[in-house]
Amino acid sequence: MALLKLSILLCTMLFGSSLSRAASPNNIFILAGQSNMAGRGGVENNQVRELEWDGLIPPECQSDPSILRLNPALQWEIAREPLHEGIDINKTVGIGPGMPFAHQLLTKVGPRAGTVGLVPCARGGTIIEQWIKNPSNPDATFYKNFIERIKASDKEGGVVRALFWFQGESDAAMSDTANRYKDNLKNFFTDIRNDIKPRFLPIILVKIALYDFMMKHDTHDLPAVRAAQDAVSKELPDIVTIDALKLPINVDTHEGFNQDHGHFNTTTQITLGKWLADTYLSHYGHLL
């Protein structure tokens, strides 16, 4: 009988269910942006040209009792791929940087890292004007939901440690949105920090590597968005940038990408996740 109970408990822990609500994690990280933050590793067209995730989960992305995610119902559960399931709604989600980030953090820090909480918030294809706080539209749902998820994450314990923001490819596809990107990004970060006070929120900003995944537009303002990302990281405190162009990718030969030439493949996502952990630790690891 005891054995049966134990195996039910283990199954619930491993496979997740409404019964598997977990205690609050110690160290909480917010993940937001567009599709390459949400994760498309292993998502390719099948033979009828529909997107499908291949379900392959490498060791760096496996579930672990020390890695939790805040689910769409704002409850903690054992995290499992795809991390953005139910969050990046109406998109086919796959492997992203979140799980390899958490594994790397746990490996590098050891028991002091306690449990790691991931708060997936990214939404594929979004431009920043969908995310910003809009005083003339207090119901702007992206911003509202985003702040709600951050506040829910540490309600019952744990500390929000950082925001990882990887977004701007859609803005880089159009000159007008690219030109407004700097002001929008600066206001967005400033509003978030004000609205979640007194939390201290370092931001790791991933500079984009390419524009407009599907090449549907004929303008490309990648340099403008990258320059805006640099400028904001200098004008606001506690923003560290990492450059996606330095990942093991080649935007000309498409190495490191899916067949769509815009989304990072699983291998690239694992590298990105490890970079996020190494970057966080080298700047803020002393806080853990």
Ligand X SMILES: *[C@@H]1O[C@H](CO)[C@@H](O)[C@H](O)[C@H]1NC(C)=O
184 in contact with ligand X (CB under 6 A) = no
Contact range with ligand X by CB under 6 A, out of 21-29, 185-193, 222-230, 265-273:
265-273
- Find the shortest distance in angstroms from Cβ 271 to ligand X: 10
Task: Please give the structure tokens belonging to residue 159.
Answer: 């500390």
Q: Which of residues 243-262 bind ligand X (CB under 6 A)?
A: 255-256
* Bridge partners for 242 per DSSP: 206
Minimum CB distance to ligand X smaller for 44 or for 230: 44
Nearer to ligand X, 65 or 86 (CB): 86
Which residue of the set 35, 63, 66, 170 is catalytic?
Answer: 35
**Residue owning tokens 């390899």:** 100
**Half-sphere exposure in the Cβ direction for 100 (13 Å, CA):** 22
Distance of alpha carbon 18 from alpha carbon 186, whole angstroms: 38
Considering the candidates 260, 261, 278, 283, report the single residue annotated as catalytic: 260
- Give me the torsion for CA of 206, 209, 214, 216, rounded to 10°: 110
Instruction: Report the amino acid identity of residue 197.
Output: K
* Nearest by Cα to 228 from 183, 272, 195: 183
Our CB check for ligand X shows the closer of 115 and 268 to be: 268
Is 24 among the catalytic positions?
A: no
Q: What is the DSSP string of 60-129?
A: GG---TTEEEE-TTS-EEE--SSTTTTTSTTS---B-SHHHHHHHHHHHHGGGG--EEEEE---TT--GG
Stretch that binds ligand X, among 2-10, 96-104, 173-181, 263-271 (CB under 6 A): 263-271
If one asks whether residue 266 binds ligand X (CB under 6 A), the answer comes out as: yes
Residue 12 C-beta: closest distance to ligand X, Å? 29
233 is an active site residue = no
Catalytic residue among 63, 171, 221, 263: 263
Q: Tell me: does residue 126 bind ligand X (CB under 6 A).
A: no
For the record, the structure tokens of 183 come out as 């002001």
Tell me how many degrees the CA angle 282-287-288 measures, rounded to the nearest 5: 95
How many chain residues are in contact with ligand X, going by CB under 6 A? 8
Shortest Cβ 90–ligand X spacing (Å): 4
Is 219 strand, coil or helix?
coil
Q: Does 279 bind ligand X (CB under 6 A)?
A: no
Q: What share of the chain is helix, strand, coil (3-state, %, to 5)?
A: 40, 15, 40
Q: Is 267 in the site for ligand X (CB under 6 A)?
A: yes
Considering the complex, state which of residue 139 and residue 218 has its C-beta at the smaller distance from ligand X: 139
Query: Which of these segments, 100-108, 207-215, 223-231, 266-274, binds ligand X (CB under 6 A)?
Result: 266-274
| 35 annotated active-site | yes
Omega of the bond leading into 198 within 30 degrees of 0 (cis): yes
Instruction: Lay out the site mask for ligand X across 72-111 (x = CB under 6 A, - = otherwise).
Output: -----------------xx---------------------
Please list the active-site residues: 35, 260, 263
Interacting residues toward ligand X by CB under 6 A: 89-90, 255-256, 265-268
